[in-house]
Amino acid sequence: MDSRFLEEAIRLAVENVRKGVGGPFGAVIVRRGRIIGRGTNLVTSTNDPTAHAEIVAIRQACQALADFQLTDSEIYTSCEPCPMCAGAIYWCRPARVYFAAGHEDATRAGFDDSFIYRDLAVPPEKRTVPFLKVAVPDFLLPFREWESKSGNVRY
Amino acid sequence: MDSRFLEEAIRLAVENVRKGVGGPFGAVIVRRGRIIGRGTNLVTSTNDPTAHAEIVAIRQACQALADFQLTDSEIYTSCEPCPMCAGAIYWCRPARVYFAAGHEDATRAGFDDSFIYRDLAVPPEKRTVPFLKVAVPDFLLPFREWESKSGNVRY
């Protein structure tokens, strides 16, 4: 752990607010002591609800490495990741994540993600955004196509 | 619910595998009976671990609407969303989500996301990817900056 990277994530977050391009969040991806990706929250300025600091940084770092995995990398983020960003972090598999503010600090500042954790724990059809399973005959077709194809790149 | 949109999501998923550009997943976003976004899994071909079908479709639909919210929209996806995509769905707030294959079908085909749900339920520092809170003096600085600034766009 090198707290200078966490300070850089915080600096990016503050700068992001000053620029007026999004929420108070910043993240950097570090590999072998070097920053390979930077991100800030750009949701409102880019009309992209997925443009959280961690997602932006992950995408940039993956482009830099030309890889869809961030093995041996570490994520430094100004605030504890939300469920979406946590999910993204699992998919790119960094070694670990360091964060400064906790989710309770974010909640106090008006950025509450606890409703998502709560809602994901209830059955899909009972969520505040209902996730409804629909019976269609072809539901397994994509997986059958995948299994019948050779040379698939696993991820 | 209009099953033709679910069939379109499945068709996109199958086509995606045939093209060899990513995993067997497709999604469409529908608003007032019209498709405003389409997405397929492009993780391996674009080196973007966040490029799941739902995320790609959400980003496209938001660009089409020039908005970071998908109120009054519905998401039709070939498979039950993973935790990352579910998180993204909460942030863009569509009316509901319809899915064809369940997560158990995905697991059987080699796409298991249950480890993420399991891991997110344990304390951050004990996860398989450890999420470690680090004490730094400036941890609240971004939120203070946000609160002191007028004209912030909430999201």
Q: Tell me the CB-side half-sphere exposure of residue A79, using CA atoms within 13 A.
A: 29
Extract the runs of DSSP E, i.e. beta strands, from B16-130: 26-31, 34-40, 73-79, 96-101
Whole-number Cα distances in Å, B77 to A88, A114, B39, B93: 18, 25, 9, 15
Mean per-residue pLDDT for B34-58?
Answer: 98
Best mutation site among B6, B58, B112, B139 for testing chain A: the one with the most A CBs within 10 Å? Answer: B139
pLDDT in tens, chain A (155 residues): 999 999 999 999 999 999 999 999 999 999 999 999 999 999 999 999 999 999 999 999 999 999 999 999 999 999 999 999 999 999 999 999 999 999 999 999 999 999 998 999 899 999 999 999 999 999 999 999 999 987 788 88
Task: Write the residue in B90, B115, B134 that is nearest to A98 by C-beta.
Answer: B134
Chain A residue numbers with beta carbons less than 8 Å from the beta carbon of B99 are 131-134
Cβ distance of A83 and B90 shorter than 8 Å: yes
Please tell me the predicted confidence (pLDDT) of residue B150: 77
Q: Respond yes or no: is residue B54 known to be catalytic.
A: yes
pLDDT computed for residue B155 by the predictor: 81
Please indicate whether residue A134 or residue B153 has the higher confidence score (pLDDT).
Answer: A134
Q: How confident is the model at residue B74 (pLDDT cuts 50, 70, 90)?
A: very high
pLDDT exceeds cutoff 90 at B40: yes
Contact across the interface for B141 and A82, Cβ inside 8 Å: no
- Closest CA of chain B from A95, distance in Å: 6
- B87:A91 CB<8 A: no
Flag whether residue B123 sits within 8 Å of chain A, measured between CB atoms. Answer: no
